[in-house]
Every structure is written in C-alpha cells, then in structure tokens.
Amino acid sequence: MHGRAPVIRVTDDITLDPSEFEFSFVRASGPGGQNVNKVATAVQLRFDAANSSALSDELRHRVLARAGRRATRDGIIIIEAKRYRLQARNRDDAIARLVELVRSAARPQTPRRKTRAPRSEAEKRLNKKKSRSSTKKLRRAPRQDEYT
C-alpha cells in the first residue's frame, strides 16, 4: 500500500507536503560500534523553502531567517538528524524539527515595547560609581603638593 503520504499539519492553515522533502541517509558519527560503521542511520532532510507552495512570501522569509545556517543561499533548508540509532526515528525527528521551525516562524512576533530604567536604578548605579571612585582614591599615593 504505497499511496501518497498524508500532508503534515503545521498549524490550522499551514500544511507541508512530504513530496517536497528530499531525504538522504548517511553514516552517523559517534558511538554505536559495528552498527555505526555499517548502517547509514543519520538523516539529512532537504526542504526547498524558496519554492514551496505551502509557504506565503512573508512566512518563507521568516522561516529562512529562523533557519539561519541551516538554510542555503538558494533557500533550501537542510536539517540533519542523527540522535537515534534507527533511520526511521531520525527521519521522524528531522520532520518534527522542520515542522517546529515552520511553526515558530508562523507565530506572530510580538512587537517590543520600549521601557525605561527606573530612576532608582540610575541613582543606585551613580552611587556605586561614587563609592568605587572614593575607594580607588584612598588607594592612591598621596600627592606631594597636598602637604607643602
């Protein structure tokens, strides 16, 4: 029963089509003994965000910005998963991480509200500076013209 893979729901109005994913399997590094040397369990998921029909222009821009170094210049997001010793689990992990990336980019950014430090904080800082200054003044060698 090899039908079309069901779409992956990211949010209520965003779904990803698994046919847009490209998987490659490589040997994972790290512990695992003979298994790690023989079996390609690490997964590399490639998602062409720049040409994906699932993403609006605004969302595409935010997803690529969120992806950072995981995104290529061409707008392809590459996610590597090698946490597990089973290829299937790493594949699911890679998909879950891509979904979370898109979901976090879809969340509207709350605008930053400018705030000012309280006056008491400014006074506290200035008092600390004065105290430090007097401590350092006491450490100095006395000037000769003060005693003549």
pLDDT, greater one: 31 or 102: 102
Kindly indicate the confidence band of residue 105, based on its pLDDT and cuts at 50, 70 and 90: confident
* pLDDT score of 73: 87
Kindly indicate the confidence band of residue 104, based on its pLDDT and cuts at 50, 70 and 90: confident
Distance of CA 118 to the CA centre of its chain: 33
Residues 6+ apart with CB under 8 A from 66: 101, 104, 105
Q: How far apart are CA 52 and CA 49, in angstroms?
A: 5
Burial class (CB in 10 A: 0-12, 13-18, 19+), 92: middle
What domains sit in the chain, N to C, each tagged with a CATH number? 8-106 (3.30.160.20)
Q: What are the Cα distances from residue 132, in Å, to 61, 96, 128, 129, 135?
A: 49, 53, 6, 5, 5
Most confident of 22-26, 58-62, 113-117: 113-117
pTM of the full structure: 0.63
* pLDDT score of 31: 64
- Using an 8 Å Cβ cutoff, are 94 and 45 in contact? yes
* pLDDT score of 129: 97
* pLDDT score of 1: 47
Q: How far apart are CA 101 and CA 10, in angstroms?
A: 10
Residue 3 scores a pLDDT above 60? no
Q: Give 26-84 pLDDT, tens digit per residue.
A: 777 766 666 666 677 788 888 888 887 777 888 888 888 888 888 888 888 888 888 88
